[in-house]
A and B are shown apart, each in its own frame.
Chain A
């Protein structure tokens, strides 16, 4: 197993050039996702999806711009991977989460399972797609296309431990410079998904960027869910058994219902 690799996206230096979006599309041959004028901001890709693996969000606030290049978080505890029934989604030697297109049968379960709304089904070919952290490039010893193309180093690629240290230092620096709203998102291994393989430095609340404030991998509750389902299954069997009981009641007219009468 190689070292765990990841992305640190420092949104404080993002200039919204979308070089990452373009590089990703070029390298991974991701089809057109429609060139939409959304009338909200400079954003014309909207959100991550089957045909958008890097998405630059634009938030126009009074006196400042927030720009952030979103991507699959390559969760430590990945809901998409947990629920995938075919094993198409798997964890690579770099600890990233990748879909194998030759195995995915398009069941669509990973789509609502992802707490970040990342993975989606491409209806044209019926399969699920998302960022692979350029698995092919990684295997060739190269960095992912988006990180390579980013002109400001807003997208940094490297061993996750190293990135976490670098990110801590960056937040301290920003705080010292008076940017008190700077905070890390997804860096903590103690969060609801065990930490993100792709984490961020944000300048506002995560929900402003369209990110969930406290995502949790729902498979955490799975044992509990099965227990409740087990209870319901036993209740079902018990109710059927009760339905077959032939109870004899005194001849009270009110209780003449056919199922209560001895046959």
Chain B
């Protein structure tokens, strides 16, 4: 009988089936899934940057951001498709539009965003090509007047799909039973948006002449501050469920991301004329954004693999309800 008593209150403070996980860990692979999260976010924020740059007359920054938005969306799609267990069936993603599935909403957003950014990028590179070549590919006035117009319209429209691209992935992670992800559903979108903005700013300032790069530098700094702030709030608000972000490999990645992102972000606006400092800042931000994504996946895996993170909060919830809802039959009536 004594042993039964021990079992009731084991050292770890919770019980489980031989320490096995209760939920299944996310099966998404590295580098596919974190790479997609980075590229999708980059593309989303870059398209907003491109549209705003066009409106304010920063044409070089606008063109560079259009290219970044296009490359991010298309390279991201490749990672997304190869991540599937049955890549040849990727079009099944568009069989229906399901609002209860962030992945369905995301697939449609990506399809629209990918198309828009491709047109916008095509319009941006056409003027750089030799005129005879353009007129051979595009008939008549298409290259001269129509394409730039459609390109600008697409760039503006991608400023609507862009912010969704940069944030839906946070909902994608949060809408799972993984405690570290689900409990963080308030902060994750801000973390993703900040990181995406910093990434797009970094690419913008690396690929644009200094005279036009000021908004990109400002974006990089603002994004870095936003990501850091969201990360700090998240880790301080989450109790036990936030532990995977602080421990082990995920903890190292999240810390590296914090240092690189904030360091790079704060360096961005003051790097000024120095090419070397600008490059350092842009690369640090990019590395930081990648660390964030790999760290998030790793934290999710840890959080799912240890039954403690599933059982303890649920047990507390169940106990609290039992104590409040079910009145003690022995208690005198009020």
Contacts and interface: CB of A to CB of B under 8 A. Distances in A.
Interface string A40-53: 11000011010000
A31 interface: no
A260 B269 CA distance: 9
B190 A232 contact: yes
A108 B28 contact: yes
A212 B193 contact: no
Interface string B73-106: 0000000000111110110110110101111100
A112 B163 contact: no
A112 B90 CA distance: 20
Contact of B100 (A57, A62, A82): A82
A61 B7 contact: yes
A152 interface: no
In the complex, which of the residues A49, A222, A242 has the most CB atoms of chain B within 10 Å of its own CB atom?
A: A222
Interface in A232-261: 232-237, 239-244, 257-261
Interface in B190-223: 190, 192-194, 196-197, 201, 210-211, 214-219, 221-223
A40 B102 CA distance: 39
A209 interface: yes
A61 to B, nearest CB: 6
Interface in B291-306: 300, 304
Contact of A240 (B14, B49, B98): B49
Interface string B231-266: 000000000000000000000000000000000000
Contacts of A209: 17
Contacts of B163: 233-234, 236-237
Contacts of B84: 105-108, 126
A232 B189 contact: yes
Contacts of B20: 46-47, 210
B171 A229 contact: yes
Nearest to B163: A233
B16 interface: yes
In the complex, which of the residues A86, A112, A120, A219 has the most CB atoms of chain B within 10 Å of its own CB atom?
A: A112
B48 A237 contact: yes
Nearest to A62: B3
A20 to B, nearest CB: 18
Nearest to B89: A105
B12 to A, nearest CB: 11
B159 interface: yes
B197 A85 contact: no
Contacts of A151: none
A233 B27 contact: no
Interface stretch (B111-119, B149-157, B312-320): B312-320
A109 B101 contact: yes
A200 interface: no
A87 B93 CA distance: 9
A112 B24 contact: yes
Interface in B12-46: 14-18, 20-28, 44-45
Contacts of A29: none
A49 B20 CA distance: 13
A88 to B, nearest CB: 8
Contact of A83 (B85, B90, B103): B103
Interface residues of A, number: 81
A162 to B, nearest CB: 26
A117 interface: yes
B interface: dominant SS:
helix
A212 B193 CA distance: 33
Contact of B23 (A106, A112, A230, A233): A112
A113 to B, nearest CB: 5
Interface in A95-131: 103-109, 111-121, 123, 125-128
A239 B100 contact: no
Nearest to A241: B52
Contacts of A118: 24
A138 to B, nearest CB: 25
A213 interface: yes
A62 B4 contact: yes
B107 A85 contact: yes
B128 interface: no
Contacts of B221: 259
A204 to B, nearest CB: 8
A57 B17 contact: yes
A259 B177 contact: no
Nearest to B268: A259
A214 interface: yes
A225 B175 CA distance: 8
A160 to B, nearest CB: 23
Q: What are the nearest 7 A-B pairs in CB distance? A: A106-B85, A126-B85, A210-B17, A232-B189, A233-B163, A105-B89, A243-B218
Interface of B: 1, 3-4, 7, 14-18, 20-28, 44-45, 48-49, 52-53, 56, 58, 83-87, 89-90, 92-93, 95-96, 98, 100-104, 107, 159, 163-164, 166-168, 170-172, 174-178, 182, 185-186, 189-190, 192-194, 196-197, 201, 210-211, 214-219, 221-223, 226, 269-270, 272-273, 300, 304, 307, 310-311, 314-315, 317-318, 321
22 contacts: A41-B18, A62-B4, A86-B89, A103-B92, A106-B85, A107-B85, A109-B172, A111-B27, A112-B24, A112-B176, A113-B177, A126-B85, A126-B86, A127-B85, A127-B86, A214-B317, A215-B177, A229-B167, A233-B163, A240-B197, A240-B215, A259-B217
